């Protein structure tokens, strides 16, 4: 007698496709904007957009230039390990995750992948969004921070919902 082991259900497959497509779109969008900014702003010019300026900068470190004195290969290797761990985590949890959680993971993963792709070339991450009072950053950073914020909010909401159901 053969035992049939069902594969992932349709919801899990849709969630994982959403994760992959969302991450690819986020990464492609950021990589494209970085290429545009590198060409357009290479002469040192900046463009004023009100609260933001487009101004080209290169970051040898991670957030807030942390790790900028580490060897580029060590920083790239560490970031790749973190991104792979994030991808494995995202793949596993999307099986049962709600859509906002999946989209947040896609934004986070896409932003992280985009920064790894950018860093792989020369050890630097291209930044182009400048506020005047905050370190210059890029769209991938926006995806990472927004994704993390939504994950926290979704986790709180899930926690509140679970407490309501259990009467805690």
pLDDT tens per residue across span 42-86: 998 888 888 899 999 999 888 767 777 788 888 899 999 999 999
Count the domains in the chain.
1
Cα 78 to the center of its chain, rounded Å: 16
Neighbours of 68 (CB within 10 A): 13
Contact 18, 103 (CB under 8 A): yes
The pLDDT value given to residue 5: 54
Does residue 77 form part of some domain? yes
More confident residue, 149 or 9: 149
Which single residue is written with the structure tokens 């761990």?
Answer: 85
Q: Mean per-residue pLDDT for 10-16?
A: 92
38 falls within a domain: yes
Q: Does 3 reside within a domain?
A: no
Confidence of residue 137 (pLDDT cuts 50, 70, 90): very high
For position 155, what pLDDT does the model report?
Answer: 80
- Domain assignment present for residue 63? The answer is yes
User: Each residue of 88-107: pLDDT tens digit?
Assistant: 999 999 988 889 999 999 99
> How far is the C-alpha of 152 from the C-alpha of 149, rounded, in Å?
5
In a domain, 147, yes or no: yes
For residue 2, tell me if it sits in a domain. no
pLDDT value for 1: 55
**Catalytic site residues?**
127, 141
pTM of the model: 0.84
Rounded Cα gap, residues 105 and 23, in angstroms? 8
In a domain, 85, yes or no: yes
Stretch (H or E) spanning 82? helix 72-93
The pLDDT assigned to 107 comes to: 97
On whether residue 33 sits in a domain, the answer given is yes
Q: What is the pLDDT of residue 62?
A: 81
What are the residues whose beta carbons fall under 8 Å from the beta carbon of 37, sequence distance 6 or more?
A: 54, 56, 126, 128
Does 151 score more than 60 pLDDT?
yes
CB 104 within 8 A of CB 147: yes
């Amino acid at each position: 007698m053969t035992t049939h082991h069902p594969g992932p259900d349709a919801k899990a497959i849709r969630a994982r496709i959403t994760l992959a497509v969302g991450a690819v779109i986020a990464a492609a969008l950021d990589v494209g904007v970085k290429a545009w900014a590198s060409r357009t702003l290479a002469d040192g010019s900046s463009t004023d957009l009100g609260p933001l300026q487009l101004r080209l900068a290169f970051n040898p470190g991670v957030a807030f230039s942390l790790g900028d004195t580490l060897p580029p290969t060590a920083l790239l290797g560490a970031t790749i390990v973190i991104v792979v761990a994030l991808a494995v985590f995202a793949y596993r949890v999307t099986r049962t995750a709600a859509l906002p959680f999946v989209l947040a993971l896609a934004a986070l993963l896409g932003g992280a992948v985009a920064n790894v792709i950018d860093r792989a070339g020369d050890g630097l991450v291209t930044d182009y969004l400048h506020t005047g009072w905050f370190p210059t950053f890029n769209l991938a950073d926006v995806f990472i921070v927004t994704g993390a914020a939504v994950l926290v909010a979704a986790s709180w909401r899930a926690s509140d919902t679970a407490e309501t159901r259990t009467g805690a």
